[in-house]
Amino acid sequence: MMKVSGTISQVDIELQDRSYTIAIAPSLFDDPLSYAVLPRASSALIVSNTTVAPLYAQRLQAALQGKYSQLHHVVLPDGEGFKTWETLNLIFDALLQNGCDRKTVLFALGGGVVGDMTGFAAASYMRGVPFVQIPTTLLAQVDSSVGGKTGINHPLGKNMIGAFYQPLLVVCDLDTLKTLPARELSAGLAEVIKYGPIADMAFLDWIEAHIDTLLARDPAALAHAVKRCCEIKAWVVSQDERESGLRAILNFGHTFGHAIEAGLGYGQWLHGEAVGCGMVMAASLSARLGLVDAALVRRLTTLIQKAGLPVTGPVLDASDNAGRYLELMRLDKKSLGGDIRFVVIDAPGRASLRGAPDALVREVIDACCLRL
């Protein structure tokens, strides 16, 4: 990996023949040198959305122009509510209408929604074509662009249809975070905070000390956060690519969070907001199971709140709120035979997957949700 000026951080994902590099630096995505490692092909398709395309698509197109003789572009509608079969089909339409062959490279230019859908399209078009992640949200740079989880939502459950399919390369251009709305930056911080209690308490200390500089988009702070998150995710994914065990810890806060997203309707709360609140609930469950003390729950709650995220859950059903959460959580991919499994903190910096009695989960939901 080369760069004309400045330093570039590199994190490697070790997965035998599916290994790849995450490059992290400013001024990366529009530099043709960033893509020098990619194999030759005649065509490429840039996938972005109605918000990201006007900001960055032309510059990416210019950077790729010399590499591909046929460069196509598809612009998807923006939003979690469009992470559907219908939108996915727009990518297949573009590939087929342009006669794209099985060497065509897909470039996902956008946040996690564009990245997840482009990856799934790449996994399934002609049974698999190469793809590159160019994440432009903090959430996508620290989490979704790395590790090969791709997919779409189903009305009955989040990310229920998809495939494990690794990109060839991830290009995290820190400059793209300058145009991110503040609410989206906070949503990304939820996934940053996540890595502390599950894997690295020293990183949690660092986030607490730098939360204001992160919110102010200090370039050095953002660079460190993205790199450390990618290192932790690389360590986890390299050991457990297909989530047969360890990888589940990356879902800390997500079981409650996915219930919030599905229960409110996708897009009402941002994914990161739901995860932030879900982490408060998961930490509280860990304390009620006697695994960690209440001080850690308070510490996390304070940090999540400082990051600009909600820490009180929404009411999903006025007559039986906890029952509705439980019903939605039974659809979680980690559930087995209808039994919900939660990522809990076993000890500061260590997490695991386990069940919990419904009565205890109800207590957590009652304590963590708004009252009518």
Residue 31's binding partner out of ligand GLY, ligand NAD, none, with CB under 5 to 8 Å set by partner kind: none
Q: Does 143 bind ligand GLY (CB under 6 A)?
A: yes
How many CA atoms lie within 13 Å of 164's alpha carbon, on the beta-carbon side? 10
List the single partner that 83 binds among ligand NAD, ligand GLY, none, CB under 5 to 8 Å by kind: ligand NAD
Q: Residue 180 binds which one of ligand GLY, ligand NAD, none, with CB within 5 to 8 A depending on kind?
A: ligand NAD
Residue 3, Cβ density class (10 Å: 0-12 exposed, 13-18 middle, ≥19 buried):
middle
CB of 140 to ligand GLY, least distance (A): 11
Q: Is 75 in the site for ligand NAD (CB under 6 A)?
A: no
- Nearest CA among 142, 138, 153, 140 for reference residue 108: 140
**Nearest approach, Cβ of 112 to ligand NAD (angstroms)?**
2
Residue 60, burial from CB neighbour count under 10 angstroms (0-12, 13-18, 19+) = buried
Smaller CB separation from ligand GLY, 74 or 172: 172
Q: Which of 184, 243, 273, 332 binds ligand NAD (CB under 6 A)?
A: 184
**C-beta of residue 107 within 8 angstroms of C-beta of residue 80:** no
User: Which of 117, 227, 94, 104 is closest to 170 using CA atoms?
Assistant: 227
Alpha-carbon distance of 6 to 31, in angstroms, equals 13
Q: What is the size of the binding site for ligand NAD (CB under 6 A)?
A: 29
Nearer to ligand GLY, 73 or 247 (CB): 247
Stretch that binds ligand GLY, among 78-86, 243-251, 281-289, 349-357 (CB under 6 A): 243-251
Q: Helix 294-306 to helix 201-215 angle, to the nearest 10 degrees?
A: 20
Helices 271-288 & 358-368 angle (0-180, nearest 10): 120
- CB atoms under 10 Å from CB of 111, counted, come to 30
Active-site annotation, residues: 127, 149, 191, 233, 243, 247, 251, 254, 258, 271
Is 176 a binder of ligand NAD (CB under 6 A)?
yes
> Of 19-27, 214-222, 244-252, 305-313, which segment contacts ligand GLY by CB under 6 A?
244-252
Report in angstroms how near the CB of residue 250 gets to ligand GLY at its nearest.
4
